[in-house]
Amino acid sequence: MLAKQMECAMAKIIYRDKEWTVQGGRPVREILEELQLNPESVLAVRDGKLINEETIVEEEDVIKLVAVISGGGR
């Protein structure tokens, strides 16, 4: 039961083909730090809308991270 409650309190982070379940109630920036992702290299999107890195990720939020680096010649 406790585990189930805890699971409900978590947010989901999706980045490329990876997915993490993390503690909500804190800003995007903190979550990126925990996942060791550079905030300069990704943008966070919630419900299809861009959110800034100080936005609080709520419980049960699904946050999609968009990679901003592209490489090679153009």
Residues that bind other proteins (CB under 8 A): 25-27, 38-41, 43, 45, 49-56, 66-74
Pick between residue 8 and residue 68 the one whose CB is nearest to other proteins.
Answer: 68
Q: How far is the CB of 56 from other proteins (least distance, A)?
A: 7
All residues at 6 or more sequence positions from 57 whose CB lies less than 8 Å from its CB, including other chains? 11, 22, 24, 25, 26, 27, 28, 31, 46, 63
Pick between residue 21 and residue 38 the one whose CB is nearest to other proteins.
Answer: 38
The CA angle 16-45-29, to the nearest 5 degrees, is: 90
Q: How far is the CB of 62 from other proteins (least distance, A)?
A: 16
